[in-house]
Structure 1
Amino acid sequence: MIAQQKKPTLITHSRRKFLKVLGSVSAMTALPATSFANVHSTKDHSLSLLNLHTGESLDSTFFAEGQYQNTSLQALDYLLRDHRNNQVHQMNTNLLMLLHALQLDFDNKPIHVISGYRSPESNEKLRAKSNKVAKKSYHMKGEAIDIRIPGVPLKTLHKAAIAQRAGGVGIYSKSEFIHLDVGRVRQWGV
């Protein structure tokens, strides 16, 4: 097994991090009440994921008793690593909350992951093969994921993700997945 990179701690006291968190909280107030309540709820938040490239699956409660669970977050980071080179990156918790909300919409069916974190090297290799890969992809920041849910029509999943108004949502019908990110709210279809 390849050794994992040392990840930054989840708690930091830098001004930049504080401002980023403050901006995220401000942005969350623009979400529909159900999404905002879901993110700040004291209820448990779990995910059931299958990484289609590694075959690994995980059922994990990443938020419980009003706080994030570090061990579960680390397990999710590992599952969502760049499968091309095994680089692990801390995934954005707003993205995990979005996945949780979508999973609830579809009776907690397991989410199949096509791509989570993507290292800059992997992103460049993919960009060389396709003009549909962004130069500054949110995947490289742990803020994007490509998914499908078996038994859920892609267009239905796409509409449900758009309804969350939590970031970018793209549908890739030929490749049978949707892209989610926690950047600005926008949508597209291919």
Structure 2
Amino acid sequence: MTLICPARRQLLLGLSGVALCSLMPNKALASRSTKGIRELSLYNRHTGERNDGSYWVNGHYQREVLADFNQLLRDHRQNIAAPMDKRLFDMLYTLKTTLNSNNEIHVISGYRSPKTNSMLAKKSGGVAKKSYHMSGMAMDIAIPGVDLKHLRDAAISLKLGGVGYYPRSGFVHVDCGPVRHWS
């Protein structure tokens, strides 16, 4: 697996690359604009938990808010939390802005442990064996009040990573991997 870290535009390999990106100073991962606030409201459909907060303030990621988001996005089957890629939160924020939506984002799946991913892959052909969920780089989402096709089209238009469309299951997959899309 290859990860492109936008702050450095260097190719990094495997989970060590994810770890390296997470160790960079918070400001290095922020956009060119250092003013403003980025907020998200998240709802985990499996646990019923909600969390909202300003995860980025004036050029700095807010560690406590991100830690709370990571807990909400944990693998609920194994009760294991892992650090989610900050670019995912930026992608969700940009997606909400593009859609002009203030509705909370419903999360169907965030982080998945290898054990959970293996179990799901055995049950469904739609689960990748080397899923970005296991690296904290993917989420399956829906936004109430936003048509799923419109959500998919908006995510594809951003060209920020992968977008999968699962209308029968009622969600759109977004990830920080290479730009691509599938149905």
TM-score for the superposition, normalised by structure 1:
0.80
Q: CA deviation at 1:24?
A: 2.3
Task: State the number of aligned residues.
Answer: 160
Distance 1:133 1:156 in 2: 23
Distance 1:169 1:185 in 2: 8
Structure-2 change in CA distance of 1:60 and 1:137 (3 Å): same
What is residue 107 of structure 1 aligned with on the other side?
101
Alignment of 1:51-62 (within 5 A): 51-62=44-55
After superposition, the CA RMSD in angstroms is 1.7
Matched residue type, 2:166: Y
Is the CA contact (8 Å cut-off) linking 1:39 and 1:97 kept in structure 2?
Answer: no
Is the CA contact (8 Å cut-off) linking 2:118 and 2:129 kept in structure 1?
Answer: yes
Distance 1:47 1:70 in 2: 14
What is residue 120 of structure 2 aligned with on the other side?
126
Distance 1:72 1:48 in 2: 11
Stretches (4+) displaced over 3 A: none
Distance 2:179 2:8 in 1: 14
Structure-2 change in CA distance of 1:172 and 1:27 (3 Å): farther
What is residue 96 of structure 1 aligned with on the other side?
89
What is residue 11 of structure 1 aligned with on the other side?
none
Alignment of 1:1-190 (within 5 A): 23-25=5-7, 39-42=31-34, 43-104=36-97, 105-189=99-183
In the TM superposition, what whole-angstrom CA distance separates every residue of 1:101-130 from its partner, at most 9, and x where no partner exists?
112223221110000000000000001101
Is the CA contact (8 Å cut-off) linking 1:94 and 1:182 kept in structure 2?
Answer: yes
Distance 2:100 2:141 in 1: 13
- In structure 2, the gaps of 5 or more residues are 11-29
User: What secondary structure does 1:39 align onto?
Assistant: coil
In the TM superposition, what whole-angstrom CA distance separates every residue of 1:148-175 from its partner, at most 9, and x where no partner exists?
0011110000000001100000100100
- In structure 1, the gaps of 5 or more residues are 1-19, 29-37
User: What secondary structure does 1:124 align onto?
Assistant: helix
Identity, in percent, stands at 47
Q: CA deviation at 1:131?
A: 1.2
Distance 2:121 2:9 in 1: 30
Distance 2:119 2:32 in 1: 38
Is the CA contact (8 Å cut-off) linking 2:42 and 2:105 kept in structure 1?
Answer: yes
